[in-house]
Amino acid sequence: MEITGQTKLMFVLAHPIGHVRATAILNAHFQSIGRNVAASPLHVAPEDLETVIGAIRKMRNVIGFGTTIPHKIPVMRHLDELTPNARNVGAVNFTRRDEDDRLIGHNTDGLGFVAGLKANGVDPVGKRVLQIGAGGAGRAVAFALAEAGASALRIINRDVGKAADLARNIVALYPDCDATAGPEKAEDFDIVVNTTSVGMKEDDPIPIDLGRTGPATVVADVIMSPPVTRLLAKAAERGCKTIGGKVMPDEQMGLVTAFLHV
Ligand SMILES: NC(=O)c1ccc[n+]([C@@H]2O[C@H](COP(=O)([O-])OP(=O)(O)OC[C@H]3O[C@@H](n4cnc5c(N)ncnc54)[C@H](OP(=O)(O)O)[C@@H]3O)[C@@H](O)[C@H]2O)c1
């Protein structure tokens, strides 16, 4: 595409930067919908985050920026406003720069996950979900599932205190969702989702025993690389419906475009 003075710009801030793919997905999306917007990775060390955000605030052809590891939480203290979603999750992955230089942070990770489920014919309404993980992605997915009408959410995490905190946070906001923490049998749930990073490395263990699950169970993983984790391969062997992490960024593009007022 031709980048000119008419082009609106956005950035994705990360440290390290080499693994960042979101800009390619964003650029392909903007092009596919015919928008004159370009996204570029920006390598920003943690100690420079405040300076860089201060500069972006004053750049009048910048519509916003994405944040990924390690900036998703620290970015929050430099913003003027957070959407309820970002506040609940406690992390920001996209920030909009409004014309009055105000910066508004949002989180689309969980919303993208739920949109990905729905795009694959799985509606969380009334579903019982077993979630592994209570980190950043886990919090985003849990709030989005509760918001989307999941009836029960059982959260397992290596740090059990984090799972218990997340379950308490969910119940406080969504009393109709029976959110609890602790181990459980996978076959007692409609949806099993891994939100941990366990499965990114080839020799990682499968993060949950799939027990007697079969075609009635949907097994999802937020990990994007590899596209088919050992968990998903095992689930497919058992006849479960499987959904990989790539659906999340794909489905988030529409949400990001709307949030950034592109
Ligand atoms: N598809 C997407 O669009 C998308 C978006 C965001 C993130 N992700 C992926 O989601 C994964 C998690 O990212 P995050 O941002 O949530 O990271 P995070 O905040 O650091 O959380 C990591 C999670 O993994 C657990 N964990 C890590 N190592 C473990 C181990 N050896 N054994 C058991 N549990 C372990 C952590 O448990 P503790 O709490 O006990 O440490 C925590 O629940 C990553 O693979 C990331 O790439 C995908």
What CATH code is carried by the domain that includes residue 236?
A: 3.40.50.720
Q: Are residues 127 and 174 in the same domain?
A: yes
Q: Are residues 241 and 214 in the same domain?
A: yes
- Would 47 be classed as within a structural domain? yes
Q: Are residues 44 and 126 in the same domain?
A: no
Tell me, in angstroms, the distance from the centre of ligand 1 to residue 38's CA.
29
- Would 2 be classed as within a structural domain? no
pLDDT of the residue at 134: 96
| pLDDT tier for residue 58 given thresholds of 50, 70 and 90 | very high
pLDDT of the residue at 103: 98
Summarised one tens digit per residue, pLDDT across range 110-120 is: 999 999 999 99
Q: Is the pLDDT of residue 53 over 90?
A: yes
Q: Are residues 37 and 62 in the same domain?
A: yes
| CA angle, 82 then 85 then 87, to 5° | 50
Which of 193, 190, 218 is CA-nearest to residue 113?
A: 193
Summarised one tens digit per residue, pLDDT across range 222-251 is: 998 899 999 999 999 999 999 999 999 889
| pLDDT tier for residue 1 given thresholds of 50, 70 and 90 | confident
Range of the domain at 235: 110-248
User: Quick one: what percent of the chain has pLDDT higher than 70?
Assistant: 100
CATH number at residue 24: 3.40.50.10860
Q: Which of 60, 87, 107 is the last residue of a domain?
A: 107
Q: Is the pLDDT of residue 21 over 90?
A: no
Total number of domains in the chain = 2
Q: Which atom of ligand 1 lies nearest, measured to the CA of 159?
A: 40
State the average pLDDT over residues 53-63: 97
185 counts as catalytic: no
Calculate the average pLDDT of the chain: 96
Q: Are residues 202 and 137 in the same domain?
A: yes
Q: In what order do the strands lie in the sheet with 241-243?
A: 178-181, 152-156, 128-132, 191-194, 218-221, 241-243
Which of 173, 28, 186 is CA-nearest to residue 89?
A: 173
Nearest CA to ligand 1 atom 13: 137
Q: Are residues 80 and 94 in the same domain?
A: yes
- Cα gap 2→39, rounded to integer Å: 13
Residues enclosing ligand 1, CB less than 6 A? 109, 133-138, 157-159, 162, 195-198, 200, 222-224, 245, 248-249
Summarised one tens digit per residue, pLDDT across range 138-159 is: 999 999 999 999 999 999 999 9
Burial class (CB in 10 A: 0-12, 13-18, 19+), 206: middle
Q: In what order do the strands lie in the sheet with 8-14?
A: 37-43, 8-14, 62-67, 94-97, 103-106, 81-82
Tell me, in angstroms, the distance from the centre of ligand 1 to residue 7's CA.
35
Q: Are residues 63 and 177 in the same domain?
A: no
Q: Which of 107, 122, 145 is the last residue of a domain?
A: 107
Q: Are residues 23 and 153 in the same domain?
A: no
- Would 61 be classed as within a structural domain? yes
- Would 213 be classed as within a structural domain? yes
Nearest CA to ligand 1 atom 31: 198
Tell me, in angstroms, the distance from the centre of ligand 1 to residue 61's CA.
34
| pLDDT tier for residue 259 given thresholds of 50, 70 and 90 | very high
- Cα gap 97→90, rounded to integer Å: 19
Q: Is the pLDDT of residue 122 over 90?
A: yes
- Would 256 be classed as within a structural domain? no
Q: Are residues 43 and 94 in the same domain?
A: yes
Q: Which of 74, 107, 140 is the last residue of a domain?
A: 107
Q: Are residues 100 and 147 in the same domain?
A: no
Q: Are residues 45 and 129 in the same domain?
A: no
- Would 262 be classed as within a structural domain? no
Q: Which atom of ligand 1 lies nearest, measured to the CA of 112?
A: 3
Tell me, in angstroms, the distance from the centre of ligand 1 to residue 230's CA.
16
Instruction: Catalytic residue, from 72, 118, 127, 185: name it.
Output: 72
pTM: 0.92
Tell me, in angstroms, the distance from the centre of ligand 1 to residue 34's CA.
34
Q: Which atom of ligand 1 lies nearest, measured to the CA of 134?
A: 43
- Would 237 be classed as within a structural domain? yes
Pocket test of ligand 1: the residue of 20, 113, 196, 204 to mutate, having most ligand atoms within 8 Å of its CB, is 196
Q: Are residues 152 and 137 in the same domain?
A: yes
| pLDDT tier for residue 69 given thresholds of 50, 70 and 90 | confident
